Amino acid sequence: MHSNKKKFVSLFTSSPLHDFLIPFKKAPNQWVARYIIIVFAIIVRCAVGLGSYSGFNTPFMFGDFEAQRHWLEITTKLPITKWYFYDLQYWGLDYPPLTAYHSWIFGMIGSWIDSTWFALDSSRGLENTDLKSYMRITVLISEIVCYIPAVLMYSKWMARYYNNASSIDQTIIAAAILFQPALIIIDHGHFQYNCVMLGLTLLSVVNLLYNKYALASIFFVLSLCFKQMALYYAPVIFCYMLSVCIWPLRVNFNLLRLISIGSSVIITFSIILFPFVYFGGFIQLKQILIRVFPFGRGIFEDKVANFWCSTNIIIKYRNIFNHDQLKLISLLLTLIGISPSCIAIFLKPKKNLIVWCLASCSLAFYLFSFQVHEKSILLPLMPITLLLNEVDPDVISMVCWICNISMFSMWPLLKKDQLELQYFVLGIMSNWLMGNLSWIRKTLQWMKIPVTAREMATPVLPHNLFWSMVIIGSYIAAGLLHFIEFIKPPPENLPDLWVIGNVVISFGCFSLFYLWTNYKIYQIANTKVKEN
C-alpha cells in the first residue's frame, strides 16, 4: 500500500456537484450522498434511454439494439452448440461466451415476461415499447451490478491510500466519474453493455491495488470473456502481475503468487468454456475464435479517429498493401505504441502507475490496432476518467478536455442514431456539474456584466501555455465544425467532408494526449514512492 499520502485539496470546490453533495459532509449523512449519486445516475441514464438507439426504424438489419436483442433470442431458443453458428449473416454472435451467458440470463427472464420478444426468427426487428423498456432495464441492472460498485471501490482505495480525500470528497469524485457522458450515451443511448466489461476490468484493478492477485486475475479473465476489446488492457495487466512475481528476483522469487495467478486464469477460462466443449467438442472453440477475432473485415470500418482512418486521407493503404501486410504493420505499430506503458509498469510496478499505463496502452490500441470502431474510445476513457482522483489540477483539466473530445469524436455515430439532443445535453450537464463552465462567469465579469462573484476551484485550463492553446484551439475547431455542419451540408462530391474533419481534429487531440500520458508515466515512474 502507498504510505506517502498526498495532501488532498478538493478541485471541485464550488462546482454544482460539490454544492449538491457537501451538505452531507457530516459523518452520519455520508452514506446518503452515495445513494443520492447512484439514484441521480440512474435517472440520467433512464432519461437518455427514452431517446433513439442504434438502428431505430431502419430495417432490414437495424443496428446494435437489434443485435443485442437477437443474441437474447438465439441463446434462449437454440442449444449452446448453435450459438456461434446460427445465421451468421444476421447479427451472428461475435462476442465471447460470457456475453452469451449474459444474454441467456436476460433472455430467459424476458421470455418469461413476454414470449414474443425473443421468439426465434419471428421476433426480428421487434421494437415495441415494452421490449425497449426491458432492454434498457437490462443495461441499467448490468451497470448497477458491475460498474458503479467498481467505481466506488476504486475511489475508496484512492482516498484511503493515495490522495487522502475525505469521504464526501471521495463521493464527489466518484460522481464525476459516473457522469462521464460517453459511456452513458453509448450504453443507454446507442445501446450496448460496455459497462460490464469496464466494470469487470476495474474490479480487477481494485483487487490489484489490494494485492489480491488471484481475484484480480479472475475478474480480468471475466472481462476478456465478456468482450474481447478488454485485450486493450491485457499487456499492462500482464506486465504488472508478472513484475510483482519475478521482479524481486534478487531477493525472492514469489512462485506461490505466480502459481495462484496462473491457476486462476486457467480455471476461470476452463469454467467459462467447458459447456461449449462438453456439448459440442473443440470445434466450438475454433468457431468462437473465428467469430470473436474477425480479421477478414479490414483495417477499419466507417470513419474513426485513429491513425489509419486519419492518414488514409493522404495514403490509400488498401491500394498499397494487401490485407495480410496491413495486419502485420498494424501489429508492429500497436506493439511500438504500447511498449512505453508496458516497460514502465514492468520495471516500476507502482500502484499509482497502473491507471496511467492502462490509459496509455488502451489509447495506443485505439490509435493503431486493427478493426477499431468509434465506440472503442470508451476503453481508454475508463482509466483516463479514473485520473479525476488525482490531486493535480493540470491532470483534471486534461482529463476533462479529452472526455469532451471523445464525445465529439463519436458525433457522426450519435447523429446517425438521432441522439443529437442527448449529445449536447449530456456534454453540457457533465461539464456544468464539474464546474468546467466557470469560464462563462469569468468572461461576463471581464465584459463588466454584473454577475455574482464566486471563486471556482475546478481548473478549466492547465497552467502550461502549450496545452492551454491546444485545448482552446481544439474547442474552437470542434465548435466551428459543428456550426458549419449545422448551416451547410457537405459538397455532393465530398459527402464525408465534415466527418473527416471530425476524425482529423479528434485524432490530433488523442495523439497529443497519448504523448502526454507517456510523459506523465515517465515522471511518476522516476518518483520515489514507498509501497508495501
CA–CA gap between residue 493 and residue 189 (Å, rounded):
32
Which residue is listed with cell 475464435? 289
Whole-number pLDDT of residue 382: 98
Do 192 and 64 touch, CB atoms closer than 8 A? yes
Kindly report the backbone phi and psi dihedral angles of residue 300, in degrees, each rounded to the nearest multiple of 5, phi listed first.
Answer: -155, 155
Cα separation, 401 vs 506, in Å, equals 11
Cell of 392: 493535480
Q: For the chain, how big is the Rg over CA atoms in Å?
A: 23
Measured distance CA(242)–CA(265) in Å, rounded: 13
Rounded to an integer, what distance in angstroms lies between the CA atom of residue 269 and that of residue 221?
A: 7
C-alpha cell at position 246: 519475478
Q: Give pLDDT, residue 3.
A: 47
Beta-strand runs (E) in 145-295: none
What is the pLDDT, as a whole number, of residue 451? 54
Residue 458's pLDDT is: 62
CA distance 456 to 437: 10
Name the H helices within 10-96: 16-21, 30-49, 64-77
Q: How confident is the model over 87-141, as pLDDT tens digits?
A: 999 999 999 999 999 999 999 999 999 999 999 999 999 999 999 999 999 999 9
The Cβ of residue 138 has, within 10 Å, a number of other Cβ atoms equal to 20
For the chain, 532 residues long, give each residue's pLDDT as a single digit of tens: 444 555 555 667 778 888 888 888 886 777 888 999 999 999 999 999 999 999 998 888 899 999 999 999 999 999 999 999 999 999 999 999 999 999 999 999 999 999 999 999 999 999 999 999 999 999 999 999 999 999 999 999 998 887 777 788 888 899 999 999 999 999 999 999 999 999 999 999 999 999 999 999 999 999 999 999 999 999 999 999 999 998 755 556 778 899 999 999 999 999 999 999 999 999 999 999 999 987 777 677 678 999 999 999 999 988 899 988 999 999 999 999 999 999 999 999 999 999 999 999 999 999 999 888 999 999 999 999 999 988 788 999 999 999 999 999 999 999 999 999 999 999 999 999 988 887 666 666 666 666 555 555 566 789 999 999 999 999 999 999 999 999 999 999 999 999 999 999 999 999 999 999 999 999 999 887 665 4
Q: What is the pTM of this model?
A: 0.94
Do the beta carbons of residue 372 and residue 510 sit within 8 Å? no
Question: What local confidence, expressed as pLDDT, does residue 435 receive?
Answer: 86
Q: Which residue has the cell 479514473?
A: 386
Tell me, what's the pLDDT at 1? 43
> C-alpha grid cell for residue 378?
470508451
State the pLDDT at residue 2.
46
CB 407 within 8 A of CB 415: no
Q: For residues 204 and 355, what is the distance between their CA atoms, to the nearest angstrom?
A: 12
Question: Who contacts 187 (Cβ-Cβ below 8 Å, separation ≥6)?
Answer: 45, 139, 143, 193, 194, 195
Q: So what's the pLDDT on residue 453?
A: 52
Name residues whose C-beta falls within 8 Å of residue 296's C-beta, 6 or more positions apart in sequence: 323
Query: What are the residues facing 372 on neighbouring strands?
Result: 300
CB 279 within 8 A of CB 81: yes
Locate 152 and state its grid cell. 466506488
